Amino acid sequence: MKRILCSAIALSTLIAFSNPVYAGPSSLDDARALVAQTGMGKKLSSLALLTAKSTTTYAMIAEKLGNASANSAVSDEINALLPKYQPKWDESLAAAYERSFSKEELSSLASEGRASKYAPEVRERQAGIGRYMESNAKPILVGLVSDALKAAMSKHVPQ
């Protein structure tokens, strides 16, 4: 018992006096910085509106209000919901870029933007990023569109 206690004290002392290792920012942090600095996630609202316009629910709203008013009503609801959905969308974009670029590439893209030597590779890797977003971020888009259409319906189309 005394031996175990001494070992535990020695291990505790060793841990207490060891130098912590700082890993530095992760590649996901660099990807988040890239998404934030470029504003690439800001297309969510227009993508949501385009998606909404392809639904039967939107057609019902447009039939009741007319196309211009339906567009405005659904856009307003999408914009009102963006604070809930935008962070999730941006995080998914960051994850897509993290999977597609190395830490060095992301760091360069985040700090140098279009002047980065890796900037041409962004276009080359767009298809893979798009596939990732299609499979992983689709629920975010669907949730936003669904909530926006429900809100627009409840406000503008009496049951």
> Is 26 within the bounds of a domain?
no
DSSP at 18: S
pLDDT confidence of residue 25:
64
Quote the pTM value: 0.80
The set of residues, in sequence order, having a beta carbon less than 8 Å from that of 92 and lying 6+ positions away, is 133, 136, 137, 140
pLDDT confidence of residue 17:
35
> Is 4 within the bounds of a domain?
no
Phi and psi angles of residue 41, each rounded to the nearest 5 degrees, phi first = -80, -10
pLDDT < 50: residue spans in the chain:
1-24
> Is 115 within the bounds of a domain?
yes
Asked whether the beta carbons of 51 and 145 are under 8 A apart, the reply is yes
d(CA 112, CA 118): 9
Domain extent for 71:
42-156
> Is 14 within the bounds of a domain?
no
> Is 28 within the bounds of a domain?
no
pLDDT confidence of residue 1:
43
Asked whether the beta carbons of 31 and 106 are under 8 A apart, the reply is yes
> Is 25 within the bounds of a domain?
no
> Is 17 within the bounds of a domain?
no
The predicted-structure confidence for 91-137, as pLDDT tens digits, reads as follows: 999 999 999 999 999 999 999 999 999 999 999 999 999 999 999 99
Which residue's entry shows tokens 């980065």?
Answer: 116
User: How many domains are contained in the chain?
Assistant: 1
pLDDT confidence of residue 20:
38
> Is 109 within the bounds of a domain?
yes
